[in-house]
Amino acid sequence: VNSPLRKVPGPWYAPLTTLHLRCLFSTGSIWKLVERSHAKYGPIVRLGPRQVWISDKEAMKQILLKIDLPKVAMYSEISRDRFSPGLFGEIREEPHKRLKRFLSPAFATAYVDNLEAYFKDTVRDLLDKYESQVLVDSSRKGIIVDLADDLHNVALDIMGECLFGKGFGQTNPETKTRTERHGVDEKVWASIPRAVFDGLSERYQMVYVKRFLRKLGMDLKFDWPAEMITSIDAVVQRRKRVSECERRDLLQYLIEEGTKPDTGAAMDTRDIIDQLSEMLLAGSETTSGTLGCLFLELARNPEVRSKLLASLPPLSFADEIVSSKAVRKEPQYEYLEACIKENLRLHPIASEMGRCTGKEWVTLMGYDLPPHTVVSASYRDLHRNEQFWPLAQRFWPERWLSEDKRGADPATTSMDAYYPFSGGKHSCIGINFAWAEMRMVAANILSRFEVTEVPGQGVDFRQYITMQFRTGHWKVVLKPRRV
Ligand code: HEM
């Protein structure tokens, strides 16, 4: 009754309990309550005793850029070691700054351009798999594939190639062994993504137990599976032995330059694994989920799809892989670029991001928020606000085109109402990487196939950290385009 948050609009039960929030977080449905609540109460809404969600454009700038609120403590719980986390889980200001400064060169456009060869290997694996299915498709009506699953596997393998020194063999089980297989058990290697994701959910599920035990002076530690450490260590040690650098990838960068952000000591294999695993978490489902939504929008908007396909010359399986650099630079891909931007607006993979007021009072939208208030930045609601995005629910890539190509359609004037990669000091370090991957994967599939949805699939989303197809599956028909 006396809470300083009592003036913030919201449902009657919000001040009383967090039970509904816990339940909705654990079922991945929190975004639905947030969506309904913004629609009913407006851009600021209280959904728990100390929890508010904000989607106001000016307040968003304050949260991310001007006041720059810290991340909620929950982030650090995803790390194996709270005192030596990866970039995503690092919530201490100074170590985060040092770690980000150190990692940034490995995510610059020029560095990512050099990783293209490894992206291409994985895209080729996917096309080879589809080609073998097309060859036995006697009906010529097209092949049915689980695109959500395939995109996820592609994202994992690209991360494997660029971060861990080799792909995880998820995209195409038929792929022949490529590089750096020495001394590594293939089964263990293929299990790394599962181990990383399982580790995350284990740490998440145990978060309240961990906190309770910590109060009693016990620190519950989680480690990666021993065989995973041994396998990655084999790759690291081999690279250290080989005098000539074989691959200029992130792994190499960490081996040569990596120092711990708090002590400055050289990173050992476990530290490297911590960094890479958090990158794998932050960089795989994000990109594959976003690409999944792009294909969903294209499948459900035939006019946009036809226009896009008309802009992409058809290719055969034998043709070269289209590079992401080409998509970035060549005018024929302008409409594809617009589709990707529009998809990032409509489907920001992180629909909300948890921040908190820390030790000070903070005033946002005229409300005084006391210390330790959780403030969720509601990107999804901002991205769908009619005030900034006319016909906001419509997938309308024309918004992003230059004036001469747009005709009478409204231009995008609201770049400050657009945060697909967040903003401020915690903005996405992988933005160039993600763009490169989305460009290459989308251009190569769409240049070769007409993509339509298998009818009768109810698509729903769930969000734990990122927004994903609820079942993890989504089937499409891929019909080769006429070359
Ligand atoms: C379409 C794909 C992607 C989207 C939409 C996306 C979005 C985001 C967003 C919104 C954040 C901010 C999180 C927060 O404020 O709490 C973030 C952070 C981060 N992203 Fe991405 N991301 C994508 C791909 C990637 C990739 C490919 C990588 C790595 C290869 C990556 C690595 C990270 C890391 C390490 C952070 C934490 C940065 C920090 O706290 O300083 N992301 N991402």
For residue 365, the CA-to-ligand 1 centroid distance in Å is: 27
Residues in contact with 211: Cβ distance below 8 Å, sequence separation at least 6, in sequence order: none
Look at ligand 1, atom 37, and give the residue with the nearest C-alpha. 88
pLDDT above 60: residue 64: yes
C-alpha gyration radius of the chain? 23
Percentage of the chain exceeding pLDDT 90 = 71
Average per-residue pLDDT for the chain:
92
The finding on whether 112 has its CB within 6 A of some atom of ligand 1 is no
Look at ligand 1, atom 9, and give the residue with the nearest C-alpha. 421
State the number of CA atoms in the 13 A half-sphere of 55 facing the CB: 26
Q: Which atom of ligand 1 is nearest to the CA of 344?
A: 5
Q: One-letter amino acid identity for 15?
A: P
Amino acid 136: pLDDT: 94
The finding on whether 298 has its CB within 6 A of some atom of ligand 1 is no
Amino acid 179: pLDDT: 53
Q: What is the mean pLDDT of residues 214-233?
A: 86
Helix/strand/coil percentages in the chain, nearest 5: 50, 10, 40
The finding on whether 100 has its CB within 6 A of some atom of ligand 1 is yes
pLDDT above 70: residue 479: yes
For residue 88, the CA-to-ligand 1 centroid distance in Å is: 8
For residue 392, the CA-to-ligand 1 centroid distance in Å is: 24
* pLDDT tens-digit map of 87-108: 999 999 999 999 999 999 999 9
Look at ligand 1, atom 26, and give the residue with the nearest C-alpha. 283
* pLDDT tens-digit map of 421-452: 999 999 999 999 999 999 999 999 999 999 99
Amino acid 182: pLDDT: 62
Amino acid 1: pLDDT: 64
Domain ranges for the chain, please list them.
4-480
Q: What is the mean pLDDT of residues 49-76?
A: 94
In angstroms, what CA-CA distances link 202 with 77, 270, 438? 10, 19, 30
State the number of CA atoms in the 13 A half-sphere of 476 facing the CB: 25
For residue 117, the CA-to-ligand 1 centroid distance in Å is: 22
For residue 151, the CA-to-ligand 1 centroid distance in Å is: 18
Would you state the structure tokens that stand for residue 5, as one six-digit string?
A: 């948050």
- Quote the Cα angle for 337-279-89, to 5°: 120
For residue 155, the CA-to-ligand 1 centroid distance in Å is: 14
The finding on whether 434 has its CB within 6 A of some atom of ligand 1 is yes
In angstroms, what CA-CA distances link 245 with 166, 257, 258, 438? 15, 13, 16, 28
The finding on whether 8 has its CB within 6 A of some atom of ligand 1 is no
Q: Which atom of ligand 1 is nearest to the CA of 88?
A: 37
Alpha helices in 249-402 (DSSP H): 250-257, 269-283, 285-300, 302-311, 324-329, 334-346, 379-383
State the number of CA atoms in the 13 A half-sphere of 294 facing the CB: 27
Amino acid 344: pLDDT: 98
pLDDT above 60: residue 177: no
The finding on whether 442 has its CB within 6 A of some atom of ligand 1 is no
Q: What is the mean pLDDT of residues 226-233?
A: 89
* pLDDT tens-digit map of 179-208: 555 668 888 899 999 999 888 888 877 877
Mutate to test the pocket of ligand 1, among 286, 337, 427 (most ligand atoms within 8 A of CB): 286
The finding on whether 282 has its CB within 6 A of some atom of ligand 1 is yes
The finding on whether 382 has its CB within 6 A of some atom of ligand 1 is no
Q: Which atom of ligand 1 is nearest to the CA of 379?
A: 10
* pLDDT tens-digit map of 358-416: 889 999 999 999 999 999 999 999 999 999 999 999 999 999 998 888 887 777 878 89
Question: Which CATH number, 1.10.630.10, 1.10.287.370, 1.10.10.10, 3.30.70.920, labels domain 4-480?
Answer: 1.10.630.10
